[in-house]
Amino acid sequence: MNFLQRLLKPAHRTVQRIDPNSIQFRLTAGILIASALGIGGITALTTWRMQQILLSGHKQNTIDVAERFGEDVELYQKMMPTEEALQRVIDYRTTGDLAIWLKSPSDEVLARSQTLSLPSWQAEGISTRLLNLERTNFVGVYPIADHYLVICAGPLKIAEQPIGNLYVAKDITQDQRSFLAVMRSLSLMSSAVLLAIALIIALYIRRSLRPIRQINQLAANVSVSNLGDTQLQLDQAPTEVQQLAQTFNMMLSRLSDAWRQQRRFVSDVSHELRTPLTVTNGYLQSTLRRCQTLTEPQREGLEIATAETERTIGLLQDLLDLARIESGSLRLNLEILDLKDIVVEVAGMADYVSQEVSIKANVISLFVRADRNRLKQVLVNLVDNAVKYSEAGDIVTLRLLRVDKQAQIQVVDQGRGIPLCDQTGIFEPFYRVDEDRSRATGGTGLGLSIVKRLVEGMGGQVKVHSKLGEGSQFTICLPVC
């Protein structure tokens, strides 16, 4: 990358970041256009007015010379012949930038000033073009090549006798050039002022919009976990934005209340339903165990009812757990424990329960601070999923290893795997990969969300690596004590 490219890179990045739909861009552009029109208008008006003043001064000058010409000739006529008097007056009135000539009605030059023979008047055929002028009665600016001339032409009468047509021309090129140079620097200065105004306005608007950006950032970071503690504090903001922040804070409090009520409702309902269902399940199980006279259809019906109540009790327990975790009322009993014991215990349980999947556990001793029962619940949940979403005969492996300062428990299966697009969603409550919604896997979609929250409550993390059709690996990471 050469020096120029390196220099232009930040400017290019800034241009790319400009959003034409943003308030900042619209306000800046609007004020800039208004300022440009204002400053441009004033500059144009001033230029026009000054030009008028300058020209009218020069015009008046030529008119004065033309008007007094007749009187002067009359004075000289008393002492000399008319032709000589005419030339005298012409020589007397002529200056370096002024030329005078007189033409007869038949368009012949009767007398002319010496200036017309000067090189500056001869250049670019100025003198010739002036002497050949066809208009006879006018006052105005006459541009020739890059020269500007003010010309006053009109009939000359002496003692009421028409002599011919008198022309007075003044070269104002120098004045005009100086005037244009001044105007050019005025325009440059106006542009510089405009640029400075644009910069100041852009910075000012950016500063004024900062509170809105803060609101936006805050709104983007609001989640269920921080809903109750999030409040906007904008003391320096403009009144309108402060009102918006106030409304936003009130909305957050209302949302937080609604969320708290909903959690309480779920927790109360789960609790109230779980107790009678547990009792019902107990009766169903004891009837199945004790009653020997049941017919086959009756036994089958009772078994289905037992399975359904167990499933519903499980769901209610999950709902209760989730509600307690999210309301912060679930107390974790953290203690230093050896992960080896827990992994071996869970592997043993899984081996016993599941006949079609073999569990292999490679374990070493690793101490962490965790809640024994909740960690067991987490592992059982993961192993249960691994079994549920694998085929008969597939191996589910439980591994315990140490990576730097972390203890990792891995639950690895060779099941059907999870699509990449679902791998973050599965940790949200009630999220199930599409296929499982129609399949009778018996899941509720709450297991992994509880796993995640419990592990995070113990200061750890859950990660998933999965490949569709090849299997999944769920890893629980906990800091080693």
Cβ contact 166:77 at 8 Å: no
Residue 354 lies near ligand ADP (rule: CB under 6 A):
no
Residue 453 lies near ligand ADP (rule: CB under 6 A):
no
Q: Which residue's CB is nearer to ligand ADP, number 230 or number 466?
A: 466
Cβ contact 116:131 at 8 Å: yes
Q: Which residue's CB is nearer to ligand ADP, number 218 or number 266?
A: 266
Beta pairing class for 138-144 and 98-103: unpaired
Cβ contact 94:102 at 8 Å: no
Q: Which residue's CB is nearer to ligand ADP, number 55 or number 446?
A: 446
Q: Order the strands of the 471-479 sheet from edge to edge.
A: 358-362, 395-403, 406-412, 471-479, 461-467
- Tokens 């859950």 identify what position? 462
Quick one: which segment of 61-69, 321-329, 345-353, 436-444 binds ligand ADP (CB under 6 A)?
A: 436-444
- The angle subtended at Cα 34 by Cα 33 and Cα 40, nearest 5°, is 85
Q: Of residues 130, 266, 448, 478, which one binds ligand ADP by CB under 6 A?
A: 448
Q: At what angle do helices 447-457 and 296-327 cross, to 10 degrees?
A: 40
Q: Which residue's CB is nearer to ligand ADP, number 153 or number 382?
A: 382
Q: Per the structure block, which two tokens stand in for 435?
A: 């296929």
Q: Of residues 170, 443, 453, 455, which one binds ligand ADP by CB under 6 A?
A: 443
State how far the Cα of 167 lies from the Cα of 134, in Å rounded to an integer.
11
Residue 455 lies near ligand ADP (rule: CB under 6 A):
no
Q: Which residue's CB is nearer to ligand ADP, number 411 or number 478?
A: 411
Q: From the CA atom positions of the chain, what is the Rg in Å?
A: 50
Question: Exposed, middle or buried, 345 (CB in 10 Å: 0-12/13-18/19+)?
Answer: middle
Q: Of residues 111, 126, 266, 426, which one binds ligand ADP by CB under 6 A?
A: 426
Footprint of ligand ADP on 167-226 (CB under 6 A): none
**Shortest Å, Cβ 362 to ligand ADP:** 19
What is the torsional sign of CA 385, 386, 389, 391?
negative
Footprint of ligand ADP on 395-424 (CB under 6 A): 413, 415-418
Footprint of ligand ADP on 359-398 (CB under 6 A): 385-386, 389
**Shortest Å, Cβ 454 to ligand ADP:** 13
Q: Which residue's CB is nearer to ligand ADP, number 154 or number 419?
A: 419
Extract the runs of DSSP E, i.e. beta strands, from 117-272. 138-144, 147-158, 161-171
**Shortest Å, Cβ 447 to ligand ADP:** 3
**Shortest Å, Cβ 326 to ligand ADP:** 15
Residue 436 lies near ligand ADP (rule: CB under 6 A):
yes
171: Cα separation from own chain's centroid: 59
Q: Which residue's CB is nearer to ligand ADP, number 59 or number 432?
A: 432
Residue 447 lies near ligand ADP (rule: CB under 6 A):
yes
**Shortest Å, Cβ 384 to ligand ADP:** 8
Cβ neighbours of residue 129 closer than 8 Å, sequence gap 6 or more: 144
Q: Which residue's CB is nearer to ligand ADP, number 171 or number 413?
A: 413
**Shortest Å, Cβ 348 to ligand ADP:** 20
**Shortest Å, Cβ 381 to ligand ADP:** 6
Partners of 138 in the beta sheet?
153
Q: Which residue's CB is nearer to ligand ADP, number 211 or number 445?
A: 445
Q: Per the structure block, which two tokens stand in for 82?
A: 């008319």
Element (H, E) at 466: strand 461-467
> Helices then strands (H, E): number in the chain?
13, 12
Residue 115 lies near ligand ADP (rule: CB under 6 A):
no
Cβ neighbours of residue 407 closer than 8 Å, sequence gap 6 or more: 339, 366, 367, 368, 400, 401, 477, 478, 479, 480
Q: Which residue's CB is nearer to ligand ADP, number 386 or number 478?
A: 386
Residue 452 lies near ligand ADP (rule: CB under 6 A):
no
Q: Which residue's C-beta sits nearest to ligand ADP? A: 443
Quick one: which segment of 79-87, 99-107, 178-186, 443-451 binds ligand ADP (CB under 6 A)?
A: 443-451
Q: Per the structure block, which two tokens stand in for 334?
A: 């953290």
Q: Is 232 helix (H, G, I), strand (E, B) or coil?
A: coil
**Shortest Å, Cβ 376 to ligand ADP:** 16
Cβ contact 347:362 at 8 Å: no
**Shortest Å, Cβ 388 to ligand ADP:** 6
State how far the Cα of 445 lies from the Cα of 442, in Å rounded to an integer.
10
Residue 347 lies near ligand ADP (rule: CB under 6 A):
no
Q: Of residues 288, 444, 459, 461, which one binds ligand ADP by CB under 6 A?
A: 444
Residue 343 lies near ligand ADP (rule: CB under 6 A):
no
State how far the Cα of 429 lies from the Cα of 57, in Å rounded to an integer.
89
Cβ contact 422:437 at 8 Å: no
Give the footprint of ligand ADP on this chain (CB under 6 A): 385-386, 389, 413, 415-418, 426, 431-433, 436, 443-449, 472
